[in-house]
Structure 1
Amino acid sequence: MQDTSRQLFAQRLRHVREDVRKLTQTQLGQLSGLPATSISHFEKEDGVRKPSFDNLRALARALEVTTDYLLGRTEDLHGHTALDEKLYRDVKSLSEADRLIAENLIRQLAERNRPKE
């Protein structure tokens, strides 16, 4: 991570933790499986410690945001795309019965693609 991207990561991590999810460093540590001291280091804008890929994913998962948001690649916390909006518009035009079918299919696909822990 470059200095500016490290600063942005630190700012976004702190913002989501404090302002969006209302968590302490200790609480985020418990949710992510990381020590609170590591989170403290990651939130230091002038710090030199950066998360590994696995730790980045753990933080994003615990905060319910995308890694792209934490890294400054997008402004969208949840990673919504133009495709998401198109799907939303399409779903609105379905009958209630078809919506239930689509919802069940999406749930099954999501379950199939969920990482095994």
Structure 2
Amino acid sequence: MPDEPLPSVIFQQRLRKAREIRGWSQSDLATNAGMPSSSIAHFETGTRKPSFDTLRRLANALDMTTDFLLGRVENPGLAEAGDPLYRDVGKLTGSDREIARDFLKLLAERNAAKKGE
């Protein structure tokens, strides 16, 4: 596929997109991943490439799979199965699951309202 971006370019784009989905600055992501914020800037501009361990740390901090960050899947929602929150909610039954769903919906609506301000 001649017009397909290079894997390193895909990673730059996906890392920025994942960070923005979380509503984080580069500094926020760096703090959550336990690395200097300058590293995030280097990864997003393509001046540095992450090691395997760093890639894993970024994915864990973002609660997304490395497959999304590397461009192997298109939808970050496909990372849900790897998300600890998703796994924990999956263990609930009955009314506890409904309470969790309602609470998550409330948080999502609150977050959307903040972005709309």
Q: Normalising to structure 1: TM-score of the pair?
A: 0.61
- Asked if the contact 2:13–2:44 (Cα under 8 Å) also holds between the matched residues in 1, the reply is yes
Instruction: Work out the CA distance in 2 between the residues paired with 1:53 and 1:6.
Output: 13
After superposition, the C-alpha distances for 1:38-65 in whole angstroms (9 at most, x for unaligned) are 0000001xx3410001100110011110
Distance change in 2, residues 1:31/1:80 (3 Å) = closer
- Asked if the contact 2:26–2:40 (Cα under 8 Å) also holds between the matched residues in 1, the reply is yes
- TM-superposed CA distance for 1:79, in Å, is 3.2
Instruction: Work out the CA distance in 1 between the residues paired with 2:49 and 2:69.
Output: 12
- Asked if the contact 2:64–2:80 (Cα under 8 Å) also holds between the matched residues in 1, the reply is no
Query: What residue number does 1:17 align with?
Result: 19
Instruction: Kindly name which structure, 1 or 2, has the bigger radius of gyration based on alpha carbons.
Output: 1
Q: Normalising to structure 2: TM-score of the pair?
A: 0.61
Instruction: Work out the CA distance in 2 between the residues paired with 1:65 and 1:76.
Output: 10
Instruction: Work out the CA distance in 2 between the residues paired with 1:15 and 1:40.
Output: 13
Query: What residue number does 2:38 align with?
Result: 37
- TM-superposed CA distance for 1:37, in Å, is 0.4
Runs of 5+ in structure 1 lacking a partner? 82-90, 92-98, 101-117
- TM-superposed CA distance for 1:80, in Å, is 5.8
Query: What residue number does 2:28 align with?
Result: 27
- Asked if the contact 2:56–2:66 (Cα under 8 Å) also holds between the matched residues in 1, the reply is yes
Runs of 5+ in structure 2 lacking a partner? 82-89, 94-117
Give the RMSD, CA atoms, in angstroms: 2.5
- TM-superposed CA distance for 1:75, in Å, is 1.3
Runs of 4+ with >2 A deviation: 78-81
